[in-house]
Structure 1
């Protein structure tokens, strides 16, 4: 503190030098001094900033005169209140700041003079040897009310803290002033700006204004306010297109330059203002001159003041402004309306206010329009050109608008009074007068122990809306703001309340009348369609390019298109995915009707063959065909037709297991029976061909044949069972990359695995085909070998055609399934057509052929060693070359050819039920 005292003393010493040289100050100081037991200082912007070299400009009617009178009004109320500071009168020492921080600091030196003069005055000797003049003895200041602007309060607070003088502001909202390490004697009845900045950011977010410009007044109020706003804006993804400042020079070109800069960002239709009232007025004027229109979102520096928009109503149309929530003070309104230049002698600036307001001259009263607080005027002769004031002119309801922060001025004065009252009751409990402890006022104790801990109901609060005045730990007041829309209604412009902010935003947007009846956009880029994402531009998180999502993608957020999981599809609003319905072949589908029709025909044909064979079960033809194997073969054919219904049924674990079991097993049943047949025939005739006497081959009896066939089938059953254990049947939702919108319900088996399961069946087909080829020249009774050959050749063709089709159509499960069903059914029809159709035809339409016979082709019979070869009947022309042998009662055979006898005996032993030979005498042909 001592390091700052020489600087402060310099101002006092300068006054001594001027007096010693016989030089008086150019103009006497104008101030309000009212003595009392305790004196409160006051700092008010009675004048606006001057232009050029002028310190002060025109009178500030609202923020200056009204607030100053509000302090005087509060002092009067406190002095007349017997319950508050009884026996103690409060005085005032009020000075003008001229809306400048440097000028205010100079004025505030008056508040600390008493601290400086506590030292012996004789120690201060002027250069001519005289003592320092003590024309006006300084008043001891208990506390200071003010200032108004944050920049003023910061400068003054740095001075007052050195002398431990508490300071309470009624309007300074800079967040810097909450720093108690620097401003440890400062308090305020208004909240800090970061509450206001948060409210402004929430308003922008509500209307989706994400790209805005900002303009701030140079100084602590504007700069710290915009800094707080930008921080809140970043948290809400709001971008700042350009940030401008209005400098200390209020030249018109500087405001126009700011407007031109704002116009460089045409997409930023909204301008956020943290401006002092005079800066806001000049900026609106500059916008009007340049014919620029914006949506203004302004802080309480603009508030709901008519003086700011006067003359620029159209330019301000649509503005949204914030004002600290305050209750009106009707008692003050009545007090202010009762004042006039005749009865208001204690306010030296009131006459100047009167002349400016009514544009008239009071004459001879001094201090004409334009006179500064220190007497420096910008136009001292202005009042001479004005007409004399009419005695009937009064301040009344028609020309009076209460200033919005009157309540906060009154609360600030009452806060100090309550703190002093509590301190007096504590230190001077035995008297109502000031005791010695109070006379030597400890500012530190007053501030920390009493002022920060006070809590009282705000005076003059309307019933039902009592407001509590108190401070938080940082000496700040509670935050609550009213929100206004400046709009045109009923042929006039005015402020319309549209909401409030008290920790959260509450705003009725339907009360706003926009200039073009729609909410104007303020975005760097146009909004993307509902199916588009934002591709951000480098360095600009509010500027983007809209990129459409793929058909199978949804918007995970506004910046990301994410693919839906397989089997899912984006919802209509693209905010989520839903499970696609499972697609499978329905019974009524065209793809199912065809295979089902074929299978039904197959069932009917198989049933007919089965009925014919059962009906003629004991006939020679049925016996010769091998009844047991035929019935097994018919079972396999029936199973192949049944597969159509399994493959067309809705997949389920049970259906999938039956598909895997039925496909390979049905083929195994068919081809095991056919292999057993061809193997039996081959073994019989291989013995004949090899000349093996009358010994019949082993395992050719019906029982043996059935056992062999079932053994071959069981091999397939074992293989399929192991497969089912290794790969448990189940279903899966399958989606093709090129058809993601379709989810196919399939069995959880790969196509390759399904085909591999047919490997054993392929082996059976190959063996059958080989045996059928080897037995192709058996006698006519054994033409069944020929038919088996036809069956296997046709089956091979079908399978060779089926496999490529099955793989090629894997992308379309309908075609693949239909192909599978038809191929399996065709295999069944081949067996029925080649194996059973000829027999059924003979049984039903040629019963005369259903007899026991053996035709031997003599012409093509040849002997080479002991072997004998039989060939089947070739044509009707060779009929005479055959020897017919029919049943004889003794079952014996005789022939002149011994070879013929041996062959007949072997065939009889092989097939006793079908072939009992009673040969007639052979012809004369040579054997």
Structure 2
């Protein structure tokens, strides 16, 4: 076959170049002076399956058989002609008959090519590359083995255009042969995206959309139903390999992972087919995308049907998913895919059924089909007797219920006819005048095809710059009927011209694998819910991952989120970690138990101080009150009341004024209190010194000096607080660091130096007072308060020494609570002798006890009795 093809190509090239030499059958050189020039084909003429002569001839090539008779060449003699074998493919026979029907319809038309009769030469290519090439050369040369055209034989017998082939691989082979002759080729079923390359295939057109669009549509279909884990099988041919490569690229863009991708061809050994079937059986992917030719798919499904396996959801390319012959595989029920839009061709069914015995007998191909259809080809009877009725047959040849690819043949023939019409006809006064004697070159038809634009049967036909048509598909679904049969149902449409996301229009319910109405799930890993993030599994595709909870303080609010996002500073995730909620604001409130308890003690302490003051005021003329420096006592009680009440400023939401007030009021009132205690201690010491002979100390520390002492010590604290407030005062702030999940409203110190200066000054006075009280603790007077002051100062110092580490380490609102507790404890220490356990009075409690319950001791004599224990 290779030698024959090369011989023909060489002869055609020499003729086309107007060579001075010609080749005879033996290939010997002869002089160019011999006339006339003789062109002779160096191969056996291949007889068309169907042919009719006409003014202009259109070629056709269809894979009516799917096998070729194997020929062994020993290169010692001319090989025998290539022959087809095997059963006839009824659908391909319908395609060829549709071409004949269309040409006859055009010949009977008064609008298209009036007065001109189209002829046709239709070949059976046997789905074999050697036959493809042979048919292409045959269409380029014509039927005459020897022809004379004067000085050039390059155009003799050439068809105007070719309809076909039915597959991408044969179309590629045919286009490469036809290209040097500028013969246009219009395919009805070749969908390989590679054929859109006008650099390689400038003469190629098609009425069926490119696989580029179908592959993109299939990827979007898979994504539309949420499948991210799929298997893929393809025909090991130009159609399958190019289509699957385009699909896989589109699938990757859509985030779809492929568990396996297997290729096979119908002529492969059965072991190869079995291996592909085993891969499908063992896979975990529920969805399988098959980009295969129908015959390849038939062989694979037959192999799968031999052994039971888990049901699969099949996604099919147009080539097989719309083939009625494939519907017999019931385990594929629920399959979906894209199909060419259906059409109605009026009169075609009647034409197909118009097979009289004489027509059948006149065509070897129809005779073979007739015998196969009626099962008459047996050893006893080699031909039918003519009594058969084709109308009783249920065969794809007569099935016109869903004309899809047949309509593509119809369009292709009309496109060529319009191109011829535009080349040979002229419109004058709304009337077409066509010159059937005009000799037009095939290159002219090629140019006219690029500009063709017409409507037929409700469909627009035109070609873009790549020779491709407008892209629209039907979404088809294999659905079981009540009788158990499977039928092809159109459930929606796909239009690539629509905006992204709106290409699909599904208008009917789909049936899925095993008749389910629920969309099957095919994922490597289940979706990660909000609140988690995806972590890829090592060594596996991106669709295989684990779902990990978001870290603390971060959320993910979308399914399958690759990352978690941190919340803003004032927000915190909810328990599910899918939403950021405002952090709860926390402060020591009057509405909570701790706040209520501390407020109660504050008010209680203030009330106790005021009650004590009332008792002293009521008995102000009594000896015990007069003997205990009533002026300092009342001032001390007043300052204690303020100390108790200032703790209330620490409760509640901090504000700018409350922050400045709470610390300064606390500092000043406590210094006032310490000044009074210090004054009383000094008075005790001075009183003891005054009892010594010749001592005149008391005149230097009388009431004026006592007042000045209290005012001076207090004024120093006022100055410290004023400087603090002027330079860097306390201010309210939101503490976001102590607790991550909530906000603490607190008062920032502003200047830490100012705060510790205030506390340090209070501590200094307390230590000074404590030292003086210790020195005077053994004085023998009954009115001596040194022991009581010593114990009070001891409590005071202990409280504030422990306050410092507790204050620094306490979190949040408990810092305020510790500060309030220190204020209350030290304040109560000045009133009570024993805290918590004994609750006995220190400075004022004994005096109140005597005043209220031992009035007989409230006398000057008792006070002056130094021997009284």
* TM-score, normalised relative to structure 1: 0.78
SS at match of 1:141: coil
* Distance in 1 of aligned mates of 2:562 and 2:530: 12
Q: Mean alpha-carbon deviation: is it higher for 285-294 or for 343-352?
A: 343-352
Structure 1 counterpart of 2:412 = 412
**CA deviation digits over 1:340-383, x for unaligned, max 9?**
4434688652222222223224xxxxxxxxxxxxxxxxxxxx67
Taking structure 1 as reference, are residues 426 and 652 closer, same or farther at Cα in structure 2, changes over 3 Å only? farther
Work out which of the residue numbers 705, 729, 734 in structure 1 matches 2:732. 729
SS at match of 2:208: coil
Structure 2 counterpart of 1:570 = 573
Taking structure 1 as reference, are residues 755 and 120 closer, same or farther at Cα in structure 2, changes over 3 Å only? farther
1:95 aligns with 2:120: no
* Distance in 1 of aligned mates of 2:419 and 2:577: 62
1:669 aligns with 2:672: yes
Work out which of the residue numbers 318, 334, 348 in structure 2 matches 1:300. 318
Structure 2 counterpart of 1:502 = 495
Question: Deviation of residue 420 (structure 1)?
Answer: 2.5
Structure 1 counterpart of 2:347 = 331
Work out which of the residue numbers 464, 486, 494 in structure 2 matches 1:472. 464
**CA deviation digits over 1:762-791, x for unaligned, max 9?**
223222222322333456376234332221
Structure 1 counterpart of 2:293 = 276
Q: Would you say the 8 A contact 2:424–2:435 is kept in 1? A: yes
Question: Deviation of residue 848 (structure 1)?
Answer: 6.2
SS at match of 2:544: strand
**CA deviation digits over 1:669-695, x for unaligned, max 9?**
322433344456557767988976568
Q: Would you say the 8 A contact 2:602–2:647 is kept in 1? A: yes
Structure 2 counterpart of 1:267 = 284
Work out which of the residue numbers 14, 19, 29 in structure 1 matches 2:47. 29
Work out which of the residue numbers 189, 204, 223 in structure 2 matches 1:186. 204
Structure 2 counterpart of 1:357 = 373
SS at match of 1:289: coil
Q: Mean alpha-carbon deviation: is it higher for 647-656 or for 830-839?
A: 647-656
Equivalent residues in 2 for 1:150-189 (5 A)? 150-189=168-207
Q: Would you say the 8 A contact 1:144–1:167 is kept in 2? A: yes
Work out which of the residue numbers 595, 600, 605 in structure 1 matches 2:598. 595
Work out which of the residue numbers 86, 90, 93 in structure 1 matches 2:114. 86
Taking structure 1 as reference, are residues 65 and 442 closer, same or farther at Cα in structure 2, changes over 3 Å only? closer
Structure 2 counterpart of 1:713 = 717
**CA deviation digits over 1:628-658, x for unaligned, max 9?**
5444433442333334433332344444444
* Distance in 2 of aligned mates of 1:83 and 1:780: 142
* Distance in 1 of aligned mates of 2:632 and 2:88: 120
Mind listing any 5+ residue stretches in structure 1 that lack a counterpart?
125-131, 362-381, 461-465, 858-872, 878-927
1:772 aligns with 2:788: no
Taking structure 1 as reference, are residues 207 and 549 closer, same or farther at Cα in structure 2, changes over 3 Å only? same
Taking structure 1 as reference, are residues 387 and 44 closer, same or farther at Cα in structure 2, changes over 3 Å only? closer
* Distance in 2 of aligned mates of 1:661 and 1:297: 80
Q: Would you say the 8 A contact 1:149–1:171 is kept in 2? A: yes
SS at match of 1:823: helix
Question: Deviation of residue 323 (structure 1)?
Answer: 1.0
**CA deviation digits over 1:861-913, x for unaligned, max 9?**
xxxxxxxxxxxx4x427xxxxxxxxxxxxxxxxxxxxxxxxxxxxxxxxxxxx
* Distance in 2 of aligned mates of 1:48 and 1:835: 120
Question: Deviation of residue 612 (structure 1)?
Answer: 3.0
* Distance in 1 of aligned mates of 2:574 and 2:271: 56
**CA deviation digits over 1:236-280, x for unaligned, max 9?**
11111111111362443322121123334x212222111001001
Q: Would you say the 8 A contact 1:637–1:828 is kept in 2? A: yes
* Distance in 1 of aligned mates of 2:143 and 2:686: 137
Question: Deviation of residue 616 (structure 1)?
Answer: 4.7
Equivalent residues in 2 for 1:57-68 (5 A)? 57-68=85-96
Q: Would you say the 8 A contact 1:668–1:713 is kept in 2? A: yes
SS at match of 1:477: coil
Structure 1 counterpart of 2:17 = none
Q: Mean alpha-carbon deviation: is it higher for 654-663 or for 172-181?
A: 654-663
Q: Mean alpha-carbon deviation: is it higher for 23-32 or for 292-301?
A: 23-32
**CA deviation digits over 1:493-534, x for unaligned, max 9?**
222333222132234684324317354432233445655433
Q: Mean alpha-carbon deviation: is it higher for 693-702 or for 584-593?
A: 693-702
Q: Would you say the 8 A contact 1:284–1:309 is kept in 2? A: no
Structure 2 counterpart of 1:612 = 615
**CA deviation digits over 1:785-810, x for unaligned, max 9?**
433222111112223344444455x2
Structure 1 counterpart of 2:542 = 541
Structure 2 counterpart of 1:225 = 243
Q: Would you say the 8 A contact 1:360–1:389 is kept in 2? A: no
Q: Mean alpha-carbon deviation: is it higher for 94-103 or for 161-170?
A: 94-103
Question: Deviation of residue 291 (structure 1)?
Answer: 2.3
Taking structure 1 as reference, are residues 840 and 40 closer, same or farther at Cα in structure 2, changes over 3 Å only? same
Mind listing any 5+ residue stretches in structure 2 that lack a counterpart?
14-21, 29-37, 72-81, 497-502, 833-841
1:826 aligns with 2:829: no
SS at match of 1:349: helix
1:835 aligns with 2:843: yes
Q: Would you say the 8 A contact 2:184–2:442 is kept in 1? A: no
* Distance in 1 of aligned mates of 2:141 and 2:281: 51
* Distance in 2 of aligned mates of 1:235 and 1:359: 51
Question: Deviation of residue 551 (structure 1)?
Answer: 6.3
Taking structure 1 as reference, are residues 64 and 855 closer, same or farther at Cα in structure 2, changes over 3 Å only? closer
Give the greater-gyration-radius structure (CA): 1
Structure 2 counterpart of 1:515 = 514
**When the two structures are aligned, how many residues end up with a matched partner?**
809
Q: CA RMSD of the aligned region, Å?
A: 4.1
SS at match of 2:768: helix
Equivalent residues in 2 for 1:386-465 (5 A)? 388=384, 391-395=387-391, 399=395, 400-402=398-400, 403-425=403-425, 432-434=433-435, 438-441=438-441, 443=443, 445-448=444-447, 450-457=448-455, 459-460=456-457
Q: Would you say the 8 A contact 2:51–2:122 is kept in 1? A: yes
Q: Would you say the 8 A contact 2:357–2:386 is kept in 1? A: no
* Distance in 2 of aligned mates of 1:115 and 1:179: 31
* Distance in 1 of aligned mates of 2:161 and 2:355: 27
Structure 2 counterpart of 1:633 = 636
Q: Mean alpha-carbon deviation: is it higher for 203-212 or for 618-627?
A: 618-627
Taking structure 1 as reference, are residues 179 and 703 closer, same or farther at Cα in structure 2, changes over 3 Å only? same
Question: Deviation of residue 140 (structure 1)?
Answer: 3.1
* Distance in 2 of aligned mates of 1:846 and 1:645: 36
SS at match of 1:501: strand
Q: Mean alpha-carbon deviation: is it higher for 164-173 or for 715-724?
A: 715-724
Structure 2 counterpart of 1:492 = 485
* Distance in 1 of aligned mates of 2:693 and 2:175: 131
Structure 2 counterpart of 1:342 = 358
Taking structure 1 as reference, are residues 781 and 383 closer, same or farther at Cα in structure 2, changes over 3 Å only? farther
Q: Would you say the 8 A contact 1:214–1:272 is kept in 2? A: yes
Q: Would you say the 8 A contact 2:732–2:745 is kept in 1? A: no
* TM-score, normalised relative to structure 2: 0.82
SS at match of 1:482: strand
* Distance in 1 of aligned mates of 2:758 and 2:385: 116
Q: Would you say the 8 A contact 1:47–1:58 is kept in 2? A: yes
**CA deviation digits over 1:185-217, x for unaligned, max 9?**
212112111211122112222333222221111
SS at match of 1:110: helix
* Distance in 2 of aligned mates of 1:687 and 1:385: 158
Q: Would you say the 8 A contact 2:733–2:745 is kept in 1? A: no
* Distance in 2 of aligned mates of 1:186 and 1:688: 134
